[in-house]
Structure 1
């Protein structure tokens, strides 16, 4: 019997989730929530570039929660509404719907997502007899997932560096690129992402999850960053980055134990591959484990249908969609990669 799924939103990740659900042999799309009035009333397939599905997009939350569905795939925007995301998810869980999601990235490890967050989610799971799991590519498999499994090959682990090195020029989301990340802004004080505490809020839970996975206690998490400015106007998918404004950023979130930097999330984000040649080079995700033995793992994403950013969004959606059978079958409660059974793609 197919697992019935409601997809929540069709943004940069959700637009890939709908085709992923339809193609998955164990899943059945039964509902779709959309944010914009222009999408409401349209077929889910039409909105997401596949054949019509017979599932019509709606903004009626109550009607969707009343559906006979097993799970909701929640990919709604969280950039400026993290509390709203948690409210949404708790309501869904308490209503009897399991939830997998990619929104509000600290939910990768809810124990580190803020005061009371884990307790609220656990209470909602208990009320609804449901489970919750949040992941993606970064935060998710591309950093914490790879790092924890790689460390299983070590006798000794001294440091783990989890890197994303990505050209964001084809990322077509002007609000995220300009207003959240701060591309096109005059300096880092105009970037929400680079404001004090923001990167540690988003990626600190990655450090805490890896620390929990390898039995390390972190005493402190710090953050640091540097940016480069465009020497000329740069045209990207989201618009124009004017000369003299932010066109690249390199930031780190560092977990410290006993005065030593032990775990590091390291992001290099460019709009042109040739810029900032002194920064780490490559494309994709890189895990560096210093210990015994030393380990280096490279993960590069590509796609028949788009570029690396397309592939990354698809991978983010599929990492939680492929978890659905395990999440639905599990005992009620909050799940992470530390307590969810091993899962993978299901090939028909």
Structure 2
């Protein structure tokens, strides 16, 4: 039996609700499968912690997290705390200091979910978003604030090393999973310095992967193609901002943010990787017990795959699909009337049925 230590940061808004259901599924699974065990440790960091202590996490928070095998993160965001504080004092330090430079987001239409698109073709591709630099760099500033000549500068940071490692990860994934094409998001016709370097580096990496086609589209056209022919994509690689926008669009095509997971990966495993739903804290429904937990449960499945248990990850996703296909226990965002905990309970029941029939 392999034992794992998992740090849990439920965070803000609906984060605690959906994280509770993800842990419920993991705990049920470890009772049914004797190949692994998980020791969870909870960290009550977030906006409430900030309002009490003046900081989003403990001063030695990163040192505390460093010793864990992975991190399960809920959500961040509260109207009482400015976004630049909640994001840049919690989730960004974890991503950047732990070198989680790969953000992976599956865009997959699960069985049982209707897409808003008339096209009923299968949608199943992976987006790899550069997660450490790009447009989300904290470099810049404001001058002459609250004056007519006020100005702001926000610098984009694109490095050859940063592009090379995200591109290699995307191509390696394509190679491992028998994909034939990688699509790169760019805007080098207008952003002529940083995006030119992006294009050149991605092309260099592509040259090492015979048999895998590289196609490159300007981000505006690519967004349109996501809607017009999403079935044509297999692996997409994009910068921080482009990947963030594309994956929210992709999520809308396959059922919404409530069913869209993600992983922030440190490939070298020198630091723990972090797994979270791509939705935010959804303050409008926080505490109502109606948040969709599927994205967070699927994120927990991605965590298991990262830890070396693709079979267990697949079992969770299969159980999610069964619940969706039956269509009886669904949260309001998917047209149902069920609660967050009812969805979690039903996914657990479907897992148990899988193990009984083994």
Query: TM range, normalised to the smaller chain?
Result: 0.3 to 0.5
Structure having the higher helix fraction is: 2
Q: Which has the higher contact order (CA 8 A, sep 6+)?
A: 2
Structure having the higher strand fraction is: 1
TM-score (structure 2 length as normaliser):
0.33
